[in-house]
Amino acid sequence: MLSHTKYINKAHDLASKNLGKTFPNPTVGCIIAKNNKIISKGVTSSTGRPHAEEIALQKAGKNARGATMYVTLEPCFHSSQNGSCTDQILRSGIKAIYISCIDQDPRTKNKSVNKLKRNKITVIVGLEKNKTLRTNKFFFKSLVKKKPYTKVKMAISNDEKIAWGNYKSKWISNSKSRSYVHTLRSKSQAVLTTSKTIIKDNPRFTVRNRNKIIKSLNVVIIDKNLNIPINSRILKNLHEKRIIIFTSKNNSKSQKLIQLGCEIIEMKKENNKLNLKKIFYNLYKLKISDLIVEAGGVLFADLLKNNLVDEIHLFKAPIIIGKKGIPVINGEDLKNVHKKLLEKIKFDDNLYFKYEVK
């Protein structure tokens, strides 16, 4: 049992290191072992295909016959250019397979396991299952709820304010905290923000390492009156990312944004707002399954009211802004949010808290 656990954990290591590179697909790791030695490895391609099992089987070649496969998610049942992963496993001569977790996609769920068993392959399911669920929680939750998995990121003062009343403060958190934000971004599919944030901060929403741009994130903008300036930095290099704008306007400016390469989704206002639940459902249909929210307390409060927040990431600095500061949640106390602490890290004088919202 120890060797099986060792190999499945190596498959999980492959999957976790690839998190953020396979959206909207889950990240999957695969190990093929024979005679107590690893003969090949695979991890989901950044384009989704080939899958981890396909890659590992191609590397193993004829040596796969009689070997054991360890994979973090049930192999796919639906067909691709080379057939489903399940069919490829059957052709390869693999004799046994350890699968951490059943795929909840109805195209595959339990179908692959049953087919492998019918064809006399030994199938063991459930070893280190929770690691798959944790790594790919965006995939499992978005699949069930038909909405993106959503993480809210906020830098706050010790008295839980996000800015001075005049918005003139630029940074609350320190440089180590801001560096960790890029780690969070790198594991996210898209940033959700508002036109107000873009007008105020003119952000780039890139993943950077020592000021070198590693990746440009997809950006979803809620902009009911289409106020986003055409010269915003976020509208540069649109060939590297998706910009999806939800608005109630259809005018010459929206046509200009479409020409630049933006995706414009027109919606009717309800009570002078765009319906967040409808926005999230639209995003899921657009294959956006994971969001990091970088905006103000008004959007944070609205997301909470609509039960659209899955995680909260707080960076707390040892400063006091005072009563005139802008609250972290508009009209709400953070203490009243039902949440569970998952992680706490100290970045010099800053504290980072990761919460799961109940």
Question: Catalytic residues, which ones?
Answer: 53
Q: Where are the alpha helices (DSSP H) in the chain?
A: 2-17, 52-60, 85-92, 111-118, 129-135, 137-145, 175-186, 195-201, 252-260, 276-285, 297-305
Instruction: Write the DSSP assignment of 212-253 as a string of letters.
Output: EEEEEPEEEEE-TT----TT-GGGS-GGGS-EEEEES--SHH
CA nearest 137: which of 295, 31, 291? 291
Task: Give φ, ψ of 217 to 5 degrees.
Answer: -80, 150
The secondary structure of the chain in percent helix, strand, coil, rounded to multiples of 5, reads: 35, 25, 40
**Which residue is associated with the tokens 């950006």?**
219
Work out whether the CA dihedral 283, 190, 358, 160 comes out positive or negative.
Answer: negative
